[in-house]
Amino acid sequence: MKQAYGSTPDGAAVDLYTLTNATGIRAQITNYGAIVTSLLVPDREGRLSDVVLGFDRLEGYLGKHPYFGVICGRYANRIAKGCFTLNGVEYTLARNDGENHLHGGSRGFDKMVWTAAEVAEQDGAGLRLAYSSPAGEEGYPGNLEVAVTYTLTDRNELRIDYLATTDADTVLNLTHHGYFNLADGGAGDVLKHEVMIDAARFLPVDTGWIPTGELRRVEGTLMDFNQPTAIGARIERDDEQLAHGKGYDHTWMLNSEPGRLSLAARVYEPSSGRVMEVLTTEPGIQFFTGNILDGTVTGKGGAVYRRRHGLCLECQHFPDSPNKPQFPTTVLRPGQRYTQTTVYRFSAE
Ligand code: FUC
């Protein structure tokens, strides 16, 4: 179902799409920024409520906000000092996060109007969003064609299938930047959420959140989430990496084989019983605990989003890969197809 959602300052009309699956869970998605604006899933009593942070109206998303529910591109997370070299040519990008480049620059995919079409997928209701990014946009080379299909499956999953092609060598790293709070949608904090991440290593960062290049073992560190652990259990400990991240804001290198859809993370929220499993084909997951939320953003239903009222599990390649040859490559060449599948699967216990 499609309804008008308003228009951008330059006059482009924007729509809001509602997907409902056979069990009655519901997602709302706008073609502005490919943003998931709401996601209603049941608790252990079967009561539906919204588990993502965001705004009631388009105006909220048009203003400054920390990437609520968007698709980030061309490059999710950071590129150090906003430069990289590809085939001997140096490319300069916006430094929109201190001295670094973040989430595609000043006007990334999160601020674009995408073309949308409702599609009937085999296993649920889908919305296909497409965007053509011209060569040079935000400093990146290559004309890039991107398609993102959200499917709300009858197994209570929000599946995201990505596809991209280019006509010249470029770099690409796409992710979905949903902020989740399985208890109350963001009115309170996420510290009681228990998190498991299937990863033996994580990427330590410097004070600007740029990976040092080390792939450090999680064993014996506060970054070990192999056993489900409440977010609040260790987050305030005195630790160099928690200080640099201002909490958890790091990439974990997943144990699974990249390219094969596998369980990456699981979140359990004890008061509601809600469970969210995250499956992906990507090599990494950015676990971010909403450390920068500071109460200045008022979102849906008047909820004030304070520090750690939402968590993100962003499936992606590693930050700053264009400058880190030892990381899995993010280079996309003509004739290649960039693909990614990520699934957020909901249940309750
Ligand atoms: C996540 C984090 C970043 C940033 C952004 C809004 O991707 O990794 O540090 O705060 O969200």
Please give the Cα distance from 309 to 61 (Å, whole number).
18
Tokens 């000092």 belong to which residue? 81
Cα–ligand 1 centroid distance for 177 (angstroms): 9
Using DSSP, state whether 180 is helix, strand or coil: strand
SS3 at position 317? coil
Residue 122's pLDDT is: 86
- Does the pLDDT at position 121 exceed 90? no
CA of 249 relative to ligand 1 center, distance in Å:
7
Task: Choose among 319, 347, 129, 296: nearest CA to 206.
Answer: 319
Q: What is the 3-state secondary structure (H, E, C) of 114-139?
A: CEEEEEEECCEEEEEEEEEECCCHHH
- Residues 246-266 have a mean pLDDT of 98
Of ligand 1's listed atoms, the one at least distance from the Cα of 249 is 8
Q: What is the pLDDT of residues 79-88, one digit of tens each?
A: 999 999 999 9
Rounded Cα gap, residues 299 and 116, in angstroms? 25
Mutate to test the pocket of ligand 1, among 79, 312, 316 (most ligand atoms within 8 A of CB): 312
Q: Counting Cβ atoms within 10 Å, is residue 96 exposed (0-12), middle (13-18) or buried (19+)?
A: middle
In tens, the pLDDT along 123-159 reads 999 999 999 999 999 999 999 999 999 999 999 999 9
Q: Which residues contact 186 (CB under 8 A, 6 or more apart)?
A: 52, 53, 179, 299, 300, 303, 305, 309, 310
Rounded percentage of the chain residues whose pLDDT exceeds 70: 100
154-171 average pLDDT score? 98
> What CA–CA distance (Å, rounded) separates 257 from 307?
34
Confidence of residue 251 (pLDDT cuts 50, 70, 90): very high
Q: Is 249 in the pocket of ligand 1 (CB under 6 A)?
A: yes
- What would you report as the CA-atom Rg of the chain, rounded to the nearest whole angstrom? 19
Name the residues annotated as catalytic: 177, 314
What is the residue-wise DSSP string for 2-26?
Answer: EEEEEE-TT--EEEEEEEE-TT--E
Residue 42's pLDDT is: 97
